[in-house]
Amino acid sequence: MPRTPSSAPSTSWDIVIGLEVHAQIASTSKLFSRTSTQPFADANSSVSLIDAAMPGMLPIPNQKCIDQAITTALAFDADIQHVSLFDRKHYFYPDLPQGYQISQYHKPIALGGHITIDDDKGQPKDIPLTRLHIEQDAGKSLHDLFPHATAIDLNRSGVGLMEIVFEPSLRSSGEAVSLMHAIRQLLRYLGTCDGNMEAGNLRADVNVSVRQPHEPLGTRCEIKNLNSMRFIQQAIDYEAQRHISLREKGQTITQQTRLFNTNTQRTYAMRSKEEAHDYRYFPDPDLPPLVLDPARIQKLKEQLPERPREKYQRFLKDYGLKKDDVALLVAERDIAQFFEETARTTNPVQAARWVIGPLFALLNKRQTPIQDSPISPQRLSALIDAVEDGTLSERTAKDVLITMATSGKTARDIIQQENLAQISDDNVLNAKIHALLQAHPDKVTAYQQGKTRLLGFFVGEIMRETKGKAHPQKVNALLQEKLKKAP
């Protein structure tokens, strides 16, 4: 449990939350230089003169990064601005060699838009975007490398970010987490951000305030740089409770920027909130206005993939699957694609079961992403067909799946080579049943006199004789029929 300041329990407070999300743009090179964004490079090995802010260097916008931001904004149904500006945002920090960050303040690349999330009751709720803009990331200060000095790694310096600002329309930490999940899923679908929160490639600043239901919005505090779903939830819960207890003691809230300590699960004041004028924003004289050709925007719009929510609705409608299963299948674009390719040639309900069940288990065990699955959708679908047409029992099919993965063979080859096909031919089964009943006349009589539990014995004998390959339902039916008529 997060430790919260003590307070009388109160239910009359509304919690108001607004998120500012930073997403690292998926791109092989930085925002204004050609330097690689390779994540695991040695410290300071991926730094050009531009990234190190040497005098006289000229930033040149990376068109791929701009396209990624446009694609993202389009997926949120935001309005792309045909003209936007790069501004300098000044602050002094050792890992910011320019002494300012190139960002977009006066005219961002996109305004408005929205995304639908599930609220705490599972109902859809629209969260409006205020804006989306492009900016550079800073370097990284390493405080624990040397005992008396701080080291600076500039590999991140100049990497492109999208900042996505949302309206203060969230009402609980659960909704905030739901929003982050929806954003992460969407960006990964688009391929515009890898969504790796642990690496800091997707992180959020959360703004929290409380108010009585009739009041205007309360004074907010901003908690910086949260890079996990759990921290977002814990930080909001703590902060909202802190505001409530202060208000209930009759105190006022001071607008602040705060940090979340993951060990104590509390927030701490970092600085009083800075205002826009503190940053002395002005248009970067080295960068002309960013003018976008409508044809370019149109082309990116046409290339937008089906979005996760649309895919979810379509799968529900088209395949007759359960909601929870659909949610699993659309979690990642590659999973959805694998499922659809499998379902194209076999029973979709079975395809869903096999992907979510045995295939996920296999991939999990091998730590393999689905796009590198050792079994292709076509081969999985052939295996499912073998169960559907009675060639394989479900149990045997699960073993065949594992053999397929280790041997690279098809289901058909394995069935043939290991002689695994189920015996479901009536003539073959009837002959075996006939012989069995002949061998046990006493048991047949006992059965006919009412000891019907003996059916299990007969089925067991047939299964034993066929080494489990007889089709169990068929054996059952044929036996019952024969036992009625015997001797």
**Residues of this chain that bind ligand ADP (CB under 6 A):** 16-20, 165-168, 207-209, 217-218, 220
Which DSSP string corresponds to 135-157? EE---EEESSSSSS--EEE-TTT
Cβ proximity to ligand ADP, 181 vs 314, nearer residue: 181
In whole angstroms, give the CA distance from residue 458 to residue 466.
13
Closest CA to 14 of 244, 332, 189, 294: 244
Contact 78, 110 (CB under 8 A): yes
Contacts of 71 (CB under 8 A, 6+ apart): 190, 192, 300, 303, 304
Give the Cβ contact number of residue 65 at 10 Å. 23
Closest separation between CB of residue 209 and ligand ADP, Å?
3
In whole angstroms, give the CA distance from residue 300 to residue 15.
38
Contact 284, 134 (CB under 8 A): no
Torsion of CA 224, 226, 227, 230, to 10 degrees: 180
Cβ proximity to ligand ADP, 19 vs 47, nearer residue: 19
Closest separation between CB of residue 307 and ligand ADP, Å?
22
Cβ proximity to ligand ADP, 20 vs 79, nearer residue: 20
In whole angstroms, give the CA distance from residue 44 to residue 113.
38
Q: Which residue is nearest to ligand ADP (CB)?
A: 18
Cβ proximity to ligand ADP, 220 vs 242, nearer residue: 220
Cβ proximity to ligand ADP, 17 vs 300, nearer residue: 17
> What ranges in 62-106 are assigned the alpha helix state H?
63-75
Closest separation between CB of residue 207 and ligand ADP, Å?
3
- How does 161-190 read in b/e, with b if 16+ C-beta sit within 10 Å? bbbbbbebbbebbbbbbbbbbbbbbbbbbb
Cβ proximity to ligand ADP, 142 vs 253, nearer residue: 253
Closest separation between CB of residue 145 and ligand ADP, Å?
32
Cβ proximity to ligand ADP, 175 vs 461, nearer residue: 175
Cβ proximity to ligand ADP, 254 vs 303, nearer residue: 254
- Dig out the tokens for 45 from the structure: 């090995």
Contacts of 148 (CB under 8 A, 6+ apart): none
Cβ proximity to ligand ADP, 133 vs 311, nearer residue: 133
Closest separation between CB of residue 39 and ligand ADP, Å?
28
Closest separation between CB of residue 168 and ligand ADP, Å?
4
Amino acid letter, residue 237: D
Checking DSSP bridges between strand 256-261 and strand 221-226, what pairing results, if any?
parallel
- How does 350-360 read in b/e, with b if 16+ C-beta sit within 10 Å? bbbbbbbebbe
- Dig out the tokens for 389 from the structure: 């047409």
- Dig out the tokens for 137 from the structure: 């990331």
Closest separation between CB of residue 160 and ligand ADP, Å?
20
Closest separation between CB of residue 167 and ligand ADP, Å?
5
Closest separation between CB of residue 125 and ligand ADP, Å?
15
269: left (phi over 0), alpha (psi -120 to 50) or beta: beta
Cβ proximity to ligand ADP, 112 vs 468, nearer residue: 112
Cβ proximity to ligand ADP, 127 vs 197, nearer residue: 127
